[in-house]
Structure 1
């Protein structure tokens, strides 16, 4: 197989894939602007409320008071459009454009790992994957988390090839990691594994430099946010104050493996009505831990169910909206198809070797199941990690092309000088 540089593979993107990706990019933007407004979910409106508060000079606040309930990266990203007076509908451009960026990065990763231009099929696959399309039409931070995840994989694929990164690349990786966890705090486990892997895979003489620059770029934004929380809220909060509520949603007598935020915790919210936001979250955490201690078998059974639910093809929105049987079947069909593609990719490892970065991100996908299940699992919250399966599916396509090409060459008879076969 001819080895191409990443620049050559970018130049050699099949025209059909370029055209399809361009068409799907425009379709994603149009669909987001049409179907994503008016905003459908409470979380979306809360992010906009925080962004408007920043523009109005009221600080980072929610429901009339300072907050750390929502981490800051996503609201900050919404502020520029609102600041110039753009209609609220145009905010849907942001998740749509982020999914397009993620698609391009997915194509670059798959083509680099597979050393085949057909790895670029990852780009259109990212844009047609139903869960990605859904996230691209909502003001959820999973869009930026997906782009960050693939940005980190790009860094890892570079380490795979060169065993080193420049100072700028180290700084970029650290900043991407910081944005990821300051958008979706559950990404902290993924970011930690990637950071350790990058340092470990770097050549020994450059490890300390890589760790120092990447770590500094990661820590500085988190430190700024934590200092703000100490000054404004009077307590140290590294990411957000939502962990107590999330722990309770996933661990109480009304929770089921797939209930998520639809679990009834009204008894607890009523008791916490007059508490400060910090005390409220501490109360929720203590009540969740108390339920686990008092109901260990039920808690264990629920935990196992939540781990299994991580691999669910479809969860109905917690808002109670339903998309019908079609959405359920489509969700399951596409997820099973991705898993099958990953199996095929592994089977074809003889033709396209599995890169170290692939092993890392497949492990991350699997290991997030027991980690996320401590709180609760939903297909939407798994979504950034589904990008791993999409990239693997594209590598499977590239590996299949290599396999078929080798079979064809093996079947072509070779003529001797005398004309005999």
Structure 2
């Protein structure tokens, strides 16, 4: 890169840093939200790990939720002490790391520095990503690990050797300890790479073997802990049955997260309360898994009819960070209702401007910029998580870690379509 190129990149990075910090620090200064619900659970488990209580609730060991995010917070608190401010500052760092990997992925997928810069700017300005910086959810850590794994996996398809597949496997293994859904994503990407003739069968198999070996090695210590402490070698967590039953039961017409839950569901889940110890979470997981599968077998039409509703929940605009920020701020004596009302329409418009190109991508595939690479980098991961939602239950928060990839697809389509449009002095897009 020459001096002008280096100078241009330097100016661009300064602009991105200003946009990144300005939006997020501005939101965090305007909103001071006390943690609640899942956030409070994560914080308490992290403090318990730091205090030597192990991963437990009320003194009873648990694996109901994956350990990754509480363990991350515990490591942070070992340096800073238990601190909401430290956790929120970590959200800034995690978001920055994720966006660095997005830039690398976008540059590889599009083959264009300009397109990669555009995707990065769109992701930096994503209102939903800004809103979540204030909240203690696992999704930002998951997003950073997921994009790091995708970057290493895509690089492994282009270059021989075992280091990149191993690095990808390590990232996906750590991501799976945050959200179990990451486990099979590499296999989906490798299968798509073969189908799209992006790589050969032998290369896909070789990368997959090394990657999944590293992935399992990253998870193995936690699985061993579960075998020793819970008496069963649970791979990551024990909430799979609950999640499957949430979207496949007689009382959930829409296939979404039910809150408040009806009395029948509460009884079927044996009064499960995540804030209280679960007497036998392994047995409960198995019972709920079997109950959900029985419902699907006995009511296949109903199960299929719920899939569109689940996908609607997955893709729709996520109001959760605004709702919880408003409630959390109120608990701190702060009223931000006017601010929330002002930013919501713009945030929702931005959301759909990024999501709609992903719906159009399969139909405009030939006109996208390097469509096979864009599909592997973004469309396949989005489709993979959407498919999981169609089986389990829908919630917009599950889409959060993928938001940067929507920006990549939007840029790939826009750049490809612009390239195909004839311009003055050209014939069919080429110089006359």
TM-score (norm 1): 0.81
Task: State the shift of 1:15 in Å.
Answer: 5.6
Separation in 1, partners of 2:324, 2:297: 30
Q: Deviations over 1:9-68 (max 9, x none)?
A: 994765664233101222355257546754433211222222222221222223321111
Report the 3-state secondary structure (helix = DSSP H, G, I; strand = E; otherwise coil) of the residue aligned with 2:391: coil
In the aligned structure 1, how far is the partner of 2:3 from the partner of 2:292? Answer: 54
8 Å CA contact 2:266–2:272 kept in 1: the answer is no
1:414 is aligned to none
Q: CA deviation at 1:325?
A: 6.2
Which residue, 183, 193, 205 being the options, matches 2:178? Answer: 183
In structure 2, the partner of 1:107 is 103
Is 1:93 aligned to 2:89, yes or no? Answer: yes
* Aligned equivalent of 1:146, options 140, 143, 153: 143
Q: What is the deviation of 1:106? A: 1.6
Q: CA deviation at 1:177?
A: 1.0
Shift of 1:263: 5.0
Residue 239 of structure 1 and its aligned partner are, at CA, apart by 1.6
Matched residue SS, 1:138: coil
Note the residue ranges of structure 2 that are not aligned, 5 or more in a row: 328-336
Larger RCO (alpha carbons 8 Å, 6+ apart): 2
Counterpart contact for 1:111–1:117, Cα < 8 Å = yes
Take 1:399 and 1:232, find their aligned partners in 2: how far apart are those partners?
54
CA-to-aligned-CA distance 1:58-86 (integer Å, 9 cap, x gap): 22223321111121222221123211244
For the residues of structure 1 that align with 2:190 and 2:3, how far apart are their CA atoms?
28
Tell me the C-alpha RMSD between the 2 structures: 3.7
Q: Supply the distance in 2 between the matched residues of 1:300 and 1:211 (Cα, whole angstroms).
A: 31
Of residues 194-203 and 329-338 in structure 1, the stretch that sits farther from structure 2 once superposed is 194-203
Looking at structure 1, the residues matched to 114 and 199 of structure 2 have their Cα atoms a distance apart, in angstroms, of 28
The whole-number CA distance in structure 2 between the counterparts of 1:301 and 1:263 is 23
Residues 402-421 of structure 1 aligned to structure 2 (within 5 Å)? 402=419, 407=423, 410=426
Between Structure 1 and Structure 2, how many residues are aligned? 404
1:366 aligns with 2:383: yes
Give the drift of 1:373: 2.1
Q: Are the counterparts in 1 of residues 19 and 125 from structure 2 also a CA contact under 8 Å?
A: yes
**Aligned in 2, Cα 1:363/1:243: closer, same or farther, shift over 3 Å?**
same
Distance 1:339 1:208, change over 3 A: closer
After superposition, the C-alpha distances for 1:274-330 in whole angstroms (9 at most, x for unaligned) are: 742222333333443444455554443333321333332345579797876666644
User: 2: CA distance between counterparts of 1:13 and 1:246?
Assistant: 48
CA contact (8 A) 2:367 2:416 kept: no
Distance 1:176 1:32, change over 3 A: farther
Work out whether residues 102 and 147 of structure 1, in 8 Å CA contact, stay in contact via their aligned partners in 2: yes
Preserved CA contact (<8 Å) 2:378 2:405: yes
Task: Judge conservation of contact 2:367–2:420 (CA < 8 Å) in 1.
Answer: no
How far off its partner does 1:400 sit?
6.1
Which residue of structure 2 aligns with residue 383 of structure 1? 400
Change in 2 beyond 3 A, CA 1:113/1:42: same
Cα deviation digits, residues 318-375 of structure 1 (max 9, x gap):
9797876666644542232124445489759558332335246313323432321221
> CA–CA distance in 1 between the matches of 2:373 and 2:178?
27
> Equivalent residue for 2:235?
238
Give yes or no for the alignment of 1:257 onto 2:261: no
SS of 1:310's partner is helix
Change over 3 Å in CA distance of 1:258–1:59 after alignment to 2? same
Mapped partners of 1:8, 1:194: distance in 2 = 38
The answer as to whether partners of 2:105 and 2:150 remain within 8 angstroms in 1 is yes
Quote the Cα distance in structure 1 between the aligned partners of 2:100 and 2:4. Answer: 13
Distance 1:392 1:25, change over 3 A: same
Q: 1:41 is matched with which residue: 24, 36, 41?
A: 36
Show structure 1 runs of 5+ residues with no match.
412-420
Alignment of 1:185-204 (within 5 A): 185-196=180-191
Q: Which residue of 2 aligns with 1:68?
A: 63
Pair 251,207 (structure 1): closer, same or farther in 2 beyond 3 Å: closer
